[in-house]
Amino acid sequence: MKSTKLELKYLLANSIREKQDSYIIEEIFARFPTREELIEVTEQELTSIKGIGQMKARQILAALKLAQTLSISNPSTYKIRTPEDVYKLVGPELRFLKVEHFVILLLNSKNGVIAKELISIGCLNACIVHPREVFRPAIKRSSASIICVHNHPSGDPDPSSEDEAITKRLTEAGTIIGIDVLDHIVIGHQKYVSLKERGLM
């Protein structure tokens, strides 16, 4: 998130109709002073602040997500160097979802994020992730490579046999098309697994 603290304060204040120097805004930045803490903040943590109810907490989370999305609109803004970079970018959105979401990150030749694309929703063994659907946006945006990401609603990020099979299929398709599949990250509740680091691709 490249937005400055002042810009974030302005965005949050306007989103929840508060002054930038109000108690709520100041308390949010006092409790979550770093970029990582703001990205990871939960609805429960926000509602523990006096004056923030469930609806206002959701407005704040939506504003933070918007700020994060805007920060990667320029490919050079967010670069992927490690699996942890992937987790920081998409983990907060995926880790507590109740069904599996399969997302790809489209990267340029310098591993800058061009875009995030939602490919499918549902169990991977029931909602088949077809190479055609995965690589269509990558081809359209002239991506040099992609990274696959999906969540496990159980909270356990250990890859399943289906995860491994899908990764192999997509990697083979990418080789033919000329778009590398750099990694496949599985998101759990509090941690993640990189299939590349596990030697599974």
pLDDT in tens, the chain (201 residues): 444 567 677 767 776 778 888 999 999 989 988 766 777 789 999 999 999 999 888 888 877 776 665 555 554 568 999 999 999 998 988 888 888 889 999 999 999 999 888 888 876 544 568 899 999 999 999 999 999 999 998 999 999 999 999 999 999 999 999 999 999 999 998 899 999 999 999
Angle at 145 between CA 89 and CA 37, to 5 degrees: 10
Quote the pTM value. 0.64
Half-sphere exposure of 11 (CA within 13 A, CB side): 18
User: Hey, what domains does the chain have and what are their CATH numbers?
Assistant: 5-71 (1.10.150), 83-194 (3.40.140.10)
Q: How would you classify the pairing of strands 145-151 and 180-187? A: parallel
pLDDT at 185: 98
Q: What token pair was written down for 201? A: 């691709």
Q: Tokens 């946006």 appear where?
A: 137
